[in-house]
Amino acid sequence: MKIAIVAAEAAPHAKAGGLADVIGSLPGALKVAGEEPSLVVPGYASIKENVETAPVIRDVPMRFGAGVERFSVLRASDPHGVPMYLIDHPGFFERRGIYGENGKDYPDNIRRFVFFGRAAAIVSAEVVAPDILHAHDWHSAAAPIAMRADNGLRPRFKNALSVFTIHNLAFQGISKREDFALLNLEAAYNSVDYLEFYNHLNLMKGAIVLCDGASTVSPTYAQEITTDPELGFGLEGVIRDKGANFVGILNGADYDEWNPAKDREIAATYTAAKPGGKRKCTRALRDSLGLPNREDWPVVGMVTRMTGQKGVDLLKDALDAVMRLDLQLVMLVSGDAVLEKFFKDAELRYPEKLRAIIEFNNTTAHRIQAGSDALLMPSRFEPCGLTQMYALRYGTAPVVRSTGGLRDTVSEFDPAAGTGNGFAFDKFEAAEMVAALSRMVAIFRERADWRALMANCFASDFSWERAARQYVEWFTRLRKARGLS
C-alpha cells in the first residue's frame, strides 16, 4: 500500500513533543513491513537547513478563504530513506519553533495548519496518489477533511482511504466559527454534523467524522476517551459513533536511538546480559549534579513537560513526603513558570536529594534514563507515553499512574511470582503516588528482587515493528470493508 503520512512534526529536525518521535519512526517501520510510505510535513527552516531538498512543484495556487495562497513542494528523505515532501510556504513555516516561541503559541496557528492540511491533501493527490492518507492530530486534520469534503479533491481520492490518529484529545484545533471559511467548503459542513462544535470550528471533530477510520495511540486511552467525559473533552460521542472503525494501537519506541547497548550519550554502555555499566551511569549522573553517592538510595528520574497533565502538580503537593523516603529525585522539566520556581526553590531545602534541571536537553534525557533506577510518571492522563518505554529498555523501573498507555505498558512487580515491570497506582492522589514510590524503595533494598525486576524491564518489547504490523492489519481491514482490497 502507498501511504501518505501527514503530520506537523517529524524527528529529528522538527520536534515539539512525542508526536515528532512517532512520525520519526512509523514511516521507517512501515517500509520495513513492506509498504510504501511517504511523509508530508511543513517546510520548516529547521528541516530545510539540515536535509538536502529538490523542487518537485513550484508556485502552486490554492484558494484560501477570500484570497489565494501559493506554495511549492520540495522533496527530501527522512532518516530511513522514506520520501519526505515539504510544503514550502516561508510566511507560515520559516519561523522559530513549530507552534510558537517563548512559551506562547503563534496567534495564526489555525490559519497555518488549515493551510498545511489542505496543501498536504493536494500534494498527496498530485505526487503520492496514496491508497491510504494517514493524518495525525489536529494540525493535519484539514487533510482528511479536504479529501472527503472538497468537491475538487474528492474524486481524486475515490480509491483511497482516509485515516486519522488522535495523539492527544485535549488539543482539538478549536477556533471561532468564522474560520470555517479558510476551508473553502460548502456551508453544509459548517454544522453540528461535521465541523461545528458549540458555535466554534473544531478541526479534529471534522476529521473524525469524515475519515474512514480513526485511531488513538493505546488501547486503554481508546477506551477512556469514549467512556470518560473528562478525558473525552466533548468528543466522546463523536468517537463512539465510529464504532468498529475506531481502534487503539499502541505506539512503539525507537530502539535505534534509545538503546543502552549503543547509546553514545551515556557514561557506559550496557545490556540485559551485562548490566554492570548501569551503575557507572548512575555514579556519573550523581557526580554531574553534585549528589552524594548513596548506593542504598535509588535514583528516581523524571523527564517531562511541566504541566498538570503530567502530574507535576501532584508531585508538588507530595514533595515533602517523597523527600522523606530513602531516594534521590532528578528532574528534567520545563513549562509552567510557577512550578519551575517551586522545584528550584525545593533544591535548596533538599540539597542531598533533589535536582531540578529546567530545560529540555536530549543528551541529559538519555543520561537520566541510563543513570536512574526508577522513572516517575504520575500523569493525570497519558494517551500513550514513550518515556516509560525508553526507561524499560534501560532497565529503569517505571513508577506510573495507571492510565492510558501507561496501563498498557507497565504492570506492578510481584516479587513472589517474579512478574511485572514497574509500580503502578490507580487514583490521582498524592498518597497513592507516595505509596507506589515506597514499594519501589522497599524492592530496591532486596537486591535479588531488584535484579529480577530489571530483567523484566529489559525483556519488555514495544518495538515499532509490532505497531507497524497492527497499522497494516487495520488498514487492510478498512480497505476490505470499503471494497478496495
- 277-296 pLDDT, tens digit per residue, is 999 999 999 999 999 999 99
Is residue 119 a contact partner of residue 113, using CB atoms and an 8 Å limit? no
Chain centroid, CA 251 distance in Å: 8
Nearest to 399 by CA among 447, 433, 448: 433
Highest mean pLDDT among 102-106, 307-311, 412-416 belongs to 412-416
pLDDT at position 101: 87
Q: Count CB-CB contacts under 10 A for residue 128.
A: 23
- pLDDT above 70 as % of the chain: 100
Q: How is the chain split into domains, by residue range?
A: 2-252+465-481, 277-461
Look up the CATH architecture of domain 2-252+465-481.
Answer: 3-Layer(aba) Sandwich (3.40)
Supply the pLDDT for residue 360: 84
Predicted confidence (pLDDT) per residue in 390-412, tens digit: 999 999 999 999 999 999 999 99
Residue 431's pLDDT band (cuts 50, 70, 90):
very high
Question: Quick one: cell of 359?
Answer: 530545560
Q: Classify strands 2-6 and 36-42 as parallel, antiparallel or unpaired.
A: parallel
- Here the cell at position 467 is 505497531
**Measured distance CA(44)–CA(81) in Å, rounded:** 19
Sign of the CA dihedral with 106 first, then 108, 112, and 113 last = positive
* pLDDT at residue 115 tops 90: yes
Q: What is the mean pLDDT of residues 73-99?
A: 95
pLDDT in tens, 348-378: 999 999 999 999 899 999 999 999 999 999 9
Region of 311 (left: φ > 0; alpha: ψ -120 to 50; beta: rest) is left
Name the nearest CA neighbour of 218 among 173, 257, 253, 243.
Answer: 253
The backbone torsions φ and ψ at residue 58, rounded to the nearest 5 degrees and listed phi first, read: -115, 145
> What is this structure's pTM?
0.93
C-beta atoms surrounding 338 within 10 Å: 10
Phi and psi torsions of 156, nearest 5°: -75, -10
Environment class of 72 (CB within 10 Å of its CB; exposed 0-12, middle 13-18, buried 19+):
middle
pLDDT at position 307 is 86
Question: Average of pLDDT values for 297-318?
Answer: 95
H or E stretch at 48: helix 45-48
**Measured between alpha carbons, how far is residue 129 from residues 73, 178, 391 in Å?**
15, 32, 39
Predicted pLDDT at 41: 98
277-461 CATH choice from 3.40.50.2000, 3.30.365.10, 3.40.309.10, 2.30.130.10: 3.40.50.2000
**pLDDT value at 103 more than 90:** no
Cell of 286: 550523581
Which residue pairs from 223-230 have beta carbons closer than 8 angstroms and sit at least 24 positions apart in sequence? 223/248, 224/381, 224/403, 224/404, 225/166, 225/169
The answer to whether the 2-252+465-481 and 277-461 domains have the same CATH topology is yes
| 284 and 367 Cβ atoms separated by less than 8 Å | yes
Average pLDDT, the chain: 96
Q: Could you read off the pLDDT of 444-469 as tens digits, one per residue?
A: 999 999 999 999 999 999 999 999 99
Strand partners of residue 400: 377, 424
Residue 102: which pLDDT band, with cuts at 50, 70 and 90?
Answer: confident
* Vertex 162 angle, CA 156 and 165, to 5°: 150
**Going by C-beta distance under 8 Å and a sequence separation of 6 or more, which residues neighbour residue 254?**
21, 24, 25, 464
Give mean pLDDT, residues 92-103: 91
Q: Prior bond to 12 cis, omega within 30?
A: yes
Q: Which residues contact 299 (CB under 8 A, 6 or more apart)?
A: 282, 285, 286, 291, 327, 328, 329, 330, 371, 372, 373, 374
Question: Across the strands, what pairs with 5?
Answer: 39, 134
C-alpha distances out from residue 252 to 29, 117, 297, 466, 476, Å: 10, 25, 31, 7, 20
Alpha carbon of residue 171 to chain centroid:
13
CA separation for the pair 425, 398 (Å, rounded): 11
Are the C-beta atoms of 204 and 89 separated by less than 8 Å? Answer: no
pLDDT given for residue 395 in this prediction: 98
Per-residue pLDDT tens over the stretch 140-183: 999 999 999 999 999 999 999 999 999 999 999 999 999 999 99
Confidence of residue 17 (pLDDT cuts 50, 70, 90): confident
For the stretch 212-265, pLDDT in tens is 999 999 999 999 999 999 999 999 999 999 999 999 999 999 999 999 999 999
Q: How far apart are CA 258 and CA 477, in angstroms?
A: 32
Q: Kindly state the cell numbers that stand for 113.
A: 495548519
pLDDT given for residue 171 in this prediction: 96
Query: What letter would DSSP give residue 183?
Result: G
Q: Which residue has 475515490 as its cell numbers?
A: 158
Q: Judge contact between 403 and 425, C-beta under 8 A.
A: no
DSSP state letter for 325: S
